[in-house]
Amino acid sequence: MATITPLFAPEQGTISANKEAASASLESLLAIRFFEEAVDGLFARGLMHGTMHLSIGQEAVATGVCAALRKTDYITSTHRGHSHCIAKGADLTRMMAELLAKQTGYCRGRGGSMHIADVETGNLGANGIVAGGIPIAAGAALAQKMQGRDNVVVSFFGDGATNEGAFHEALNLAAVWDLPVVFVCENNKYGMSFSTTKSMKVEKISERAAAYGLPGVTVDGNDVDAVFEVAKEAVERARVGGGPTLIECLTYRHKGHSKSDKNLYRTKEEIEFWKTKDPVGIFETRVIESGQLTAEEVEQLTQKVRDAVRLAIQEATQAPDSDPAELLSSVFRQVS
């Protein structure tokens, strides 16, 4: 087990104004960053296979949103899902084991990066299908409502996903049924290589909420506090029966779309510009400047997270490879 401190949501005020919350959120940001840097390295060294979609640069979205959630709340995630998974509290070892195709991985090596789910923390699964998780989130929210529970479901997806029919149908269903679901669009400006300036004609993706009679809001997705604030409002509204919200988080991925991306569709300048808006750096500076955490504490935290990731790699590497023997009997849940 290699885990980080669970996210802590302050009752009042911003995350960075609360020591405990700031510390937990920074851990989350760093865990996502270091986990993915490690993965990137393993991949480069040929130790990992398949493909990988990294959210380096987008860590504040998952962190800010998940800070507004309870452990019993649910999320649905995407092909770019490590951040959501970690922010919701997953075990880094089991994640790493999955990427390394081990029997101890979250999917026993059957799913890989694009399919990690974690029942324990309410992660209903990453999804290799763009927009595939959005109707599923609506359905999980419907279940909460019918079961009389007050859990909320968050559905993460990208800008490109909002051009899929699944987005449209799911938002409409959630709207007409007043479901406790929050739709979080991580607008990183590109669906693979295709810019949002070409893939849609709206200025803000949050404008699409109006087509379903829903509130829509756009927020700086590189600012944990800002994300947390709008997420908290939306989650609270959803929890008390106020229905869904569409939140657009403006952010950017530093790395290529996947392992085969040559970055031909965007400029170096653009990438460099966004690196100056690094969500991890911004948050670190803020919590140090506001005096919630000392530079030393940040340093300790950094070390702690580095150790956790290192431990995850170590434990995962030593785990047994996933087992072909049980495949046929795993297609169906066996009738008990």
Partner 1 sequence: MTERIITYAEAIREAIGQAMEADESVFMLGEDIGVYGGAFGVSGDLYHRFGEERVRDTPISELGIVGAAVGAALVGMKPIVEIQFSDFTAQAMDQIVNQAAKIHFMLGGELSVPMVLRAPSGSGTGAAAQHSQSLESWFAHVPGLKVVLPSSPADAKGLLLSALDDPNPVIVLEHKLLYKTSGHVPEEMYRTPIGVSNVVRNGTDLTIVATGVMVSRSVEAAEQLASAGIEACVIDVRTLSPLDMDPINASIAETGRLMLVQEAPKHVGFMAEVAARVSEGPAIYSLTEPVLRLCGMDVPIPYAPQLEKSVVPQLDDIVEGAKNLVRGV
Ligand X SMILES: Cc1ncc(C[n+]2csc(CCOP(=O)(O)OP(=O)(O)O)c2C)c(N)n1
Sole residue written with tokens 């669906």:
191
Taking CB under 8 A as the binding criterion, the range among 18-26, 157-165, 262-270, 285-293 that sits at the site for a copy of itself is: 157-165
One-character DSSP codes across 130-158: TTTHHHHHHHHHHHHHHHT----EEEEEE
One-character DSSP codes across 248-266: EEE---SS-SSTT---TTS
Binding mask 156-195 toward ligand X (x if CB under 6 A, else -) reads -xxxxx--------------------------x-xxx---
Q: Work out what residue 188 binds among partner 1, Mg ion, a copy of itself, none; the CB cut-off runs from 5 to 8 Å by kind.
A: Mg ion
Q: What share of the chain is helix, strand, coil (3-state, %, to 5)?
A: 50, 10, 40
Taking CB under 8 A as the binding criterion, the range among 47-55, 58-66, 214-222, 271-279 that sits at the site for partner 1 is: 47-55
Q: Is there binding between residue 57 and Mg ion (CB under 5 A)?
A: no
Task: Name the 3-class secondary structure at 187.
Answer: strand
104's tokens:
């101890």
263's tokens:
């970055």
In the list 1, 44, 129, 176, the residue contacting ligand X (rule: CB under 6 A) is: 129
Backbone angle region of 90, left / alpha / beta, with phi > 0 → left and psi within -120 to 50 → alpha: beta
Taking CB under 6 A as the binding criterion, the range among 66-74, 115-123, 151-159, 260-268 that sits at the site for ligand X is: 151-159
Which residues, numbered 191-250, are part of the site for a copy of itself (CB under 8 A)?
198-202, 207-208, 210-214
Sole residue written with tokens 């009042």:
12
Least Cβ distance, residue 52 to ligand X (angstroms): 12
- Contacts to a copy of itself by CB under 8 A: 163-169, 172, 175-176, 198-202, 207-208, 210-214
Interacting residues toward Mg ion by CB under 5 A: 158-160, 188, 191
